[in-house]
Every structure is written in structure tokens, then in C-alpha cells.
Amino acid sequence: MISRRSLAFLGFALVVVAATVQSVGADTSARAVPTPKVEGPVTGGSRTGGPFWASPFFLDKFGYVEEEYFLSGTASDRGLAHNGHEHTAPYKVRILVRRPADPARFNGTAVLEWFNVSLQQEVEHEWPSDFPMLMRDGYMSASVSAQYLGVQSLSPMSLKNWDPQRYGSLQHPGDDYSYDIFAQAAQALRAGLAARYRPADVVLGSGTSQSCLRLVTYISKLAAGDGVFDGYHPTTCPATAEVPDNLVPLVWGTSEWEAGIPSRPDGPLLRVWEITGTSHANWWEVRFQGAQGYRDGFAYDGTTYFPYYGWDEDDAGQYGERRPFSNNVAPARYAFRAAIDNLNRWARDWRDHRAGRLSADQVRAAPAADRLERDGYQLRRDERGNALGGLRLPFIDVPVASYRGEFHDGASGHTNALDRQTLEALYASHDDYVAKMSVATDAAVVRGFMLPADRDEWMARVAASPVRRYGR
């Protein structure tokens, strides 16, 4: 039985989504989005000597650089908050960019994320989840300070408070202007950040959770007139809004936490992926952000005055094979990476189709995924506790644990390792477990929900696991 708390949250979420995307009418008129002034790369500061929320590892060994720039100009509220009467205001915000050190390695696609500010500071989802794939395949990844709270709230972790020496000149006019700031950041990437390097020829917009809701509003109300994005990847907000599904491709990813609210149908240019077994905040992402937070929260004059909780990819990549886990450790990252890969290909094909260079049947759309099975607002589950239906990665069909991510499981969900007797009944030996996982993993690759390179990394984890050996 679903709890009263869950029902209350469902009602609240529906109200939030409705208010977010229905408060104003869509502006479909064509608009020339300005290209902002670009300053940087930014250096200096009194805390770490680098950007807030920089990567918790060095990118140079991957052939990448991480740089921060300031964007400034005049932003418009688009008349969304004042009954159609437009207001403008000056702004100056930051954009954090990761790109190939060798311009020849850049694949031409930039993924622009709307920084999430739910914690009164800026955090990311796309880069922490996808960085191995993004660097492997030559993407540019960027995140922009679209909202006021991340720049100059009362939080000690807002940019101007965290490091006044580095960020004291920033100025955000308020969230009414966030949509235009986001669009102008896309224009900056299309211009090669004021021609410092090769311009992006494809820009994909991304946002997660709270910033997913803001992104969905932008898509619903302003995207048609702006024309600065080639595709969108909204993640972990309920996929219920009536966004236009005939402009550019969208792959909308949800976990069990959001998918308790039944998602909208797919459309001509829309795919909704309800990822089975996953939670709103997954362990890989939490572990990544923990490393960033310890470093930035306890750093002064370039030194961290706290035992450093560094990035540990082996620990972050656990999937329940070693021990019980209080957090949900389902590796949703593989689906998120496949979504970007599919979306990039779809966006490029769709652009070529509109230009007359491809026929409709040559456009390679992202694959459709099954939906989670429900009894009302509660997910149906198998005898081991895993949800039925949905986009099923191999850890669900060849399980070593049950993964919970619904509302009443909390935003971080939890993982329950299967006991030894259950594992013995499922797998005759460790080799049997690895063989079954290999078949399921190959099937996920064929369906387009896992990338071939990620298959190799995943299967190395599986082969090294203690499942059906060492007493497990």
C-alpha cells in the first residue's frame, strides 16, 4: 500500500509540474538570441584557486581541459512574468566548460546543462553521470549559472559568498531572466565562446530535477522561437508536461521516483525512458558530488583543511554485488550515457532531414522503451522486489540485489542484497552468473540502452565481483 506521505508528494509534484509549465502561454515567435560577451578563462580566487564545483579529478590524463568563463550581457524576462510586458536587465554569470585539449578531437556537439540549485548552490547531473563517455567520444560539456540562487543567495556556498575574490563581479537579475540567460549560453557555445575554439554545430540542452522543470518550461514556452538547441535531455522530473514533440528530438529520462506519476506518451520526436530500479539521486552521482563538496567546503588559500574525501570510481561503481547498501546503487549512468549518444545522432539526422539531406526513413531515432508497470501510483514488483517493465538494464534481469527508488524509499532509494540461498538458486557458479550477465548486457547494447564501450567496463566489474564465490 502506498503511504500517505507518497500520495501527498505525488499531489505536490503534480501541482509543481502544472504550475511550472502552464503558468504562461508559449511564445513561438522567432527571436534572435544575443551572443553574450565572454571573459576568461577565469583564474585566481581565495578558496581552491579554481572553479566552484570543478571535477574531483584531473582531466589532463584524458586529454581534456576544464575552464571557467564569465558571460555577460542584457537578458530579457521574455514577458513571462509580467503579462506579456518585456523587461530587460544586465547580467554576468559563469559557465563551466570541459572540452578536448586538442580541438581536432571535438566531435562538434556541446551538452549544455542548467545548474541545479535545489541545495542553494550549483550542482550538476550530466557531467558526473556521463564524463567517461563524454571524454571518450569528444564532446564538450558545459554548465551555466542560469538561476539566482547559485550566484548570490544567502547560502555560504553560493558563488559570490563562497569566493568573493573570484566571483564578486557576478550579477544575476533574478530567475525571470533565467531562460534567456540559458539560451544566450547556447549561443556562446555556437560562437565557440567568442571564437576561442571551434564553434559547436550541435547544442543539446540538459537539466535535472529542479532544473529539469525549468528546462521543460523553456522547451514548452520559448524553444520554438529561439531555435538555439538541437535536442534536449531532461532528466529526473516527472515526464508529464505537454512539451512540443515536433521541433527537435528529446530523450526524457526518469527514475522510479518520478515515474510513480505516469509519464506522457512518446511522440514523433520524444522518447521517455523510465529506468527500472533507479532512484532520484543515484550513488555514483552522490559519491561524485561528495568529493566535490568536501574539497570546496573546506578549502582556503588553495588548501583543503579536512581529510580529503576524493573521487573513488571503484567505490562509486558498486551495484550491490559486495554488500548491503543504504543508498540505491543501480547504475543508471549507463542509460543516461546511451541517451546522450542516441540524442546526438537523432538531432544530427533530424537537422539533415529538415535541410533536405536525408529522407524521413533515414533519420535514426532514439529507441522507444517499455514503461514501468503500475497498480495506480504504485509500481508492480517481481518476487525479488525489483520493478516490472521499464527500461531494463542488465543488473535488473540478472540481479544480485533489489533496487528501490519510489517516493516512499526517499530520493536516494536503497539497495537490498539478495541472500546467499537466492544467489545459489539463480546462478550455478560465478562463471554462470557472468555468462548470464553477458547475454543480458549484449541485449541492452543491441536495444540501444547501453553503449558498447560501457559494456566492456560493466562486464569487467561483473567478472571481478564476488558473486557466487568467496562465500557470497
Q: What is the mean pLDDT of residues 318-323?
A: 89
Query: Is the pTM of the predicted complex or chain greater than 0.85?
Result: yes
All three cell numbers of 323, joined, read: 554488500
Distance, in Å, from the CA atom of 251 to the CA atom of 269, rounded to the nearest integer, reads 8
The pLDDT tens digits for 270-291 are: 999 999 999 999 999 999 999 9
Contact 150, 121 (CB under 8 A): yes
Residue 377: band (very low, low, confident or very high) from pLDDT cuts 50, 70, 90: confident
Q: Backbone phi, then psi, for 172, in 5-degree steps?
A: -115, 125
Instruction: Select from 89, 106, 98, 96 the least CA-distant residue to 177.
Output: 89
Residue 310: band (very low, low, confident or very high) from pLDDT cuts 50, 70, 90: confident
Percent of the chain residues topping a pLDDT of 70: 92
pLDDT tops 70 at residue 12:
no
- Which option is the CATH number for 26-280: 3.40.1000, 3.40.50, 2.60.310, 1.25.40? 3.40.50
Instruction: Select from 341, 294, 338, 286 the least CA-distant residue to 316.
Output: 286
DSSP-based three-state secondary structure for 73: strand
pLDDT tops 60 at residue 240:
yes
The pLDDT tens digits for 170-216 are: 999 999 999 999 999 999 999 998 557 789 999 999 999 999 999 99
pLDDT tops 70 at residue 45:
yes
Instruction: Select from 377, 387, 366 the least CA-distant residue to 447.
Output: 366
pLDDT tops 90 at residue 137:
yes
Q: What is the mean pLDDT of residues 99-119?
A: 96
CA of residue 431 relative to chain centroid, distance: 34
For 414-470, give the DSSP string. EEEEPPHHHHHHH-SSHHHHHHHHHHHHHHHHHHTSS-HHHHHHHHHHHHHS-TTST
pLDDT tops 50 at residue 119:
yes
Residue 101: band (very low, low, confident or very high) from pLDDT cuts 50, 70, 90: very high
Residue 457: band (very low, low, confident or very high) from pLDDT cuts 50, 70, 90: very high
Instruction: Select from 246, 248, 253 the least CA-distant residue to 278.
Output: 253
